[in-house]
Amino acid sequence: MIFPKRDAVYQNLNTSFTNFGELLVDLKENGFTGVVQVSFWEYDGVLLLDNGSIVNAAQEAGGHTLSGQDAVKSVTEKAKEKDGSVSVFVQNGEMITMLASMVISKAVFENLSTDFTSLEALIGKLEGQDHTGYIEVRLEGNRQTGHIFMLEGRVIDALLSAGTEEVSGAKVLGRILEIISSSGATFSVFESAVEEALSESEIIKISYNLPQLLETWGVFIHAVETSTDEHLGAGEFLNTFKDILISNADEFPFLDTVYLSRLIRTYGTRARTILDDVSQKRDLGEDFGNHLYRREVEYLIKYELANCAEDILFRRTKLGIKFSEKQKDRLAGFMDERPWDEGLTSGELLLVIIKLDIDPDTRIPDEWRDTYRKARVSEEEI
């Protein structure tokens, strides 16, 4: 789909390290309005969001196009695959309305030439007809292409592109008109099926709310849900999940419910270990950003053997896409400053150093070195 890409929130995130479901949930919670683009070789898919809700989608792959509910499902599934990219662009509400209707459009004029038709006069005529759609302009003598976007008879944006380079904004329409006045162009007019697109948008907004996104993207949770529902009845897992969330919210009223929800989605019943003995918010320790507290970081170090900031942000919590460089540096600094064996008993330490094959002379207390060496000898004998 062609659309202006000047205001990027995230650009070219690798799908291998991006929790797409978590990203969509975050955009929903923040009332985001704009475009989420998923790209692979010979594949392009977009989700259109208005105030956090998906209102439409479009996909182009192998010469075939898809829109509506089928495209929403296909794009979200595609984003699970490795080595693609995800980009997020802010758009205003008018542009999203126009793009949502543009996924269902038809050509009303094709290959008109500036030799016989004035583009300015055509725009004026479309304004009088309250036209919603876009004009595609192919400039002669170069490889540039222009797109003029209209909503209810008003030009709301314009885009001029050449290969991967593009420029958009209020002044671009004047630039397009200036170029064609000297070199000529051909253009086609497309009209959006507004009513049909709006009806589809309403269905999508009902079908793809937050609980569905959590079901779609909690891969592990989905597997458990299927098994639980088979044994206990349909919907039992989701009801239990809600009950756990409510009970934890009652027990920890000083904690944000969004934070509690993430802990339960990520760790399940092990979230209790993180919250053990927490009686006030400050017991969680330093907030490294986006509700990633020291207590959770220490849990990941001790129980999941996380050994660097990247491990925690991109492999364990999937919060990396939300962190600024400054926040990442602060967490990395904490990891570097913290003695890696802090808080471990001798037995736990022994398991860790054997698991990671750490050099026995690396910051291991003298009284534990003999135990470590004996364990290594026993392991080699086995």
**E strand or H helix that includes residue 49:** strand 43-50
Would you kindly state where each structural domain of the chain is located, as residue ranges? 8-98, 105-192, 346-381
- What pLDDT shows up at residue 279? 85
Whether this model's pTM surpasses 0.85: no
* 199 contact partners, CB below 8 Å, separation of at least 6: none
End-to-end Cα, the chain, rounded Å:
60
Is the CA virtual torsion 241, 242, 244, 249 positive or negative? positive
> Residue 339: how many CA atoms within 13 Å on its side-chain side?
9
Task: Measure the CA–CA gap between 355 and 375, rounded to whole angstroms.
Answer: 12
Task: Measure the CA–CA gap between 185 and 141, rounded to whole angstroms.
Answer: 9
Low-confidence ranges of the chain (pLDDT < 50): 206, 209-220, 246, 360-361, 376-382
- What pLDDT shows up at residue 382? 34
- What pLDDT shows up at residue 212? 47
- Angle subtended at Cα 98 by Cα 93 and Cα 104, rounded to the nearest 5 degrees: 140
- Angle subtended at Cα 260 by Cα 17 and Cα 242, rounded to the nearest 5 degrees: 105
Q: According to DSSP H, which parts of 184-270 are helical?
A: 194-207, 210-217, 219-232, 236-251, 257-267
- What pLDDT shows up at residue 68? 84
- What pLDDT shows up at residue 149? 93
Task: Measure the CA–CA gap between 190 and 154, rounded to whole angstroms.
Answer: 14
